[in-house]
Chains A and B, each alone.
Chain A
Amino acid sequence: MSRAKSTVVLVAGAIALSFGLRVNAQPNPNRAATPPRAPRAAAPIDLTGYWVSIVTQDWRWRMVTPANGDYPRLPLTPEARDLASAWDPAKDEAAGEQCRSYGAPALMSVPGRLHITWQDDRTLKVEVDAGTQTRTLSFGDGNAPADQPRTWQGVSVAQWQTPRPNVPLLLRPAERTADAPAVTPTGGSLRVVTTNLRAGYLRKNGVPYSENAVMTEHWDVYKRANGEEYLTITTQIDDPQYLRTPRLVAPVFKKEPNGAKWDPTPCSARW
């Protein structure tokens, strides 16, 4: 074998080696193709159960109704400030709009409890006792259905985000078992994009969001060795009409063993 040929053979072999894992991971053509698992069966994390808000942040704006005009740290446009300053709960009550501060962009920050269940194999149902609201998180192709009426909770499209496999870097050949299952990374998170909202309030005292607001959430759970479980919902709200920069918050919940403290209350424009 000439020097050039032997180099080519060695290089080709080395490249094949470096792709070895991925080659082995290719589906066997003799096997019947398995349909993708439904989102419920494919869930990398378990969100179901009862969760309670932990109000350690922004207590003064969440646990009580703040004064008109008290909205620090919100990147509001001048138009939004004007609207917030004109807040009048009596008007909202007269218009039957007591739920304006319970829309999806505010709801996860309202002190209360969540009850999360699977409505079907493709839909997570999130019931909230504060304001007796329900969000449905539908797993789909990433697009909200068109021509639906706007609602406080809007249309939420969900998607699991799973870690990519951590492929070990092997410089030498290793024994492999044919068709051995790939190492499956653990954990993951839930990404939810909510649109089609009815305009409402980010805070009880009339800080507005528009009907064109888009909310993107990432739901992450943390199960501790002592049995405690926490849920952090990283939330970004984009609303150029009323927010100069996106609103970024991450409310936290703690899992409860049951629904003993579940306490549905109606929407209130004042409390």
Chain B
Amino acid sequence: MLGSLVGHMRIATLISLAFLPAAPALAQVDLTGTWARSGQSDNVESVEPVDLLGMPLNANGRAKALSYDIAALSATERQCQMYPPFYTVSGPFSLTISAVQEPVTQKLLAWKIAAWGDRDETMIWMDGRPHPSKYAPHPHGGFTTGTWQGDTLTSVTTHFKLGDIKRHRGFSSDQATFTMRFNRHGDLLTVTGILEDPVYLAEPYVLTEVFRLTTNPNGFPSTACEPIEELPRLHEDPTLAPAYLPGKHPALNEVTEKYNIPLEAVLGGPETMYPEYRKKLKDAYVPPAPVRAAAGPGNQ
């Protein structure tokens, strides 16, 4: 009799599960899928090497940016260097997000943003684990935890390595913190990224990017990085460290010469990202001569 009752209960439980609302225990919305970048802002722009427009750099951040020679990336030990997590919003790639579930309970443990090209994967831990000690190792992808606020996922990343934050212009240090807000609206996903860095930034650096859910992502060949000899002079002289001395960057005036934008604005700083800065520009700026649209960078 007891065995029969247990059997009936099993059937009843299975049938009732089919009627249960499909509400995940922790997630409010589903973020899984591949999200194609809209790419309609200049987040990924990398034409002029000294273009710090709108970046809230402090004096250290500006000095670091102006000392950077992209040839440094050709040094053997740097060729496989990845970008910091801020590249999620400033890089050219789509986002592939998957849910990592606890194998027995199926509870959501983490959202995983897959690595792509020169960005490491980001595991957004949702199980309440604390961030490690400040002395813990700093991987390229850092350490990230997430929480839901309504339908919005907020993630906080710490423990990532120093790296350039906008395509070879401007750096974040290994003491930076990166917060992301994930707002899903139908098939659109907006990521608001807030980078804070006591070493190189005077104020938070905020960028947004809009992604669209896609079933046909642009397949990027995500192969393993293998260091090769890119610049013979670096191998002939291993002591060579490509960099520019203060005031010696050869492209310092390139944006000013092409677009008539004053050098003071080109070098960034927190005041340059607020509307009132336009008053400083008004009398100093003359629009450049008309350009042939097809020749402009990124014109579509």
Contact = CB atoms under 8 A, between A and B. Distances in A.
A248 interface: yes
B273 interface: yes
A65 interface: yes
Contacts of A247: 40
B278 to A, nearest CB: 6
Nearest to A110: B275
Interface in A64-113: 64-76, 81, 84-85, 111-113
Contacts of B298: 72-73
Interface in B222-272: 259, 261, 265, 272
Interface string A106-144: 000001110000000000000000100000000000000
B18 to A, nearest CB: 9
Contact of B16 (A14, A188, A228, A232): A14
Interface in B8-38: 8-9, 11-13, 15-17, 19-21, 23-25, 28, 38
A31 B90 CA distance: 54
A50 to B, nearest CB: 12
Interface string B30-59: 000000001111110000000001111000
Give the dominant DSSP class at B's interface: mixed
A27 B16 CA distance: 24
Given A18-B20, A220-B183, A261-B276, A271 B150 contact: no
A94 B192 CA distance: 41
A60 B185 contact: no
A56 B183 CA distance: 20
B44 to A, nearest CB: 9
Interface in A43-72: 44, 52-61, 63-72
A169 B23 contact: yes
Contacts of B149: 186-187
A234 interface: yes
Contact of A252 (B40, B208, B292): B208
Given A71-B296, A73-B40, A222-B192, A11 B16 contact: yes
A57 B28 contact: no
Interface residues on A, range: 35 or more
B289 A67 contact: yes
Contacts of B15: 11, 14-15
Nearest to B20: A18
Nearest to B13: A14
Interface stretch (A2-10, A147-155, A174-182): A2-10
Interface in B171-223: 179, 181, 183, 185, 188, 190, 192, 194, 204-210, 212
Contacts of B278: 63-64, 111, 271
B281 interface: yes
Contacts of B19: 15, 18-19
A240 to B, nearest CB: 16
B287 A56 contact: no
Contact of B40 (A22, A52, A249): A249
Contacts of A74: 40, 300
Interface stretch (A32-40, A160-168, A193-201): A160-168
A54 B273 contact: yes
Contacts of A250: 190, 192, 208-210
Contacts of A164: 28
Contacts of A267: none
Interface of A: 3, 6-7, 10-11, 13-15, 17-19, 22, 44, 52-61, 63-76, 81, 84-85, 111-113, 130, 161-164, 166-169, 171, 185-189, 191, 205, 218, 220, 222, 224, 228, 230, 232, 234, 236, 244, 247-252, 254, 261, 263, 271
5 contacts: A56-B54, A59-B53, A65-B287, A185-B151, A218-B190
Interface of B: 4-5, 8-9, 11-13, 15-17, 19-21, 23-25, 28, 38-43, 53-56, 149-152, 154, 179, 181, 183, 185, 188, 190, 192, 194, 204-210, 212, 259, 261, 265, 272-278, 281-282, 285, 287-293, 296-300
Given A56-B55, A56-B206, 10 more contacts: A11-B15, A17-B16, A55-B274, A57-B43, A59-B42, A70-B288, A70-B293, A71-B299, A72-B42, A73-B300
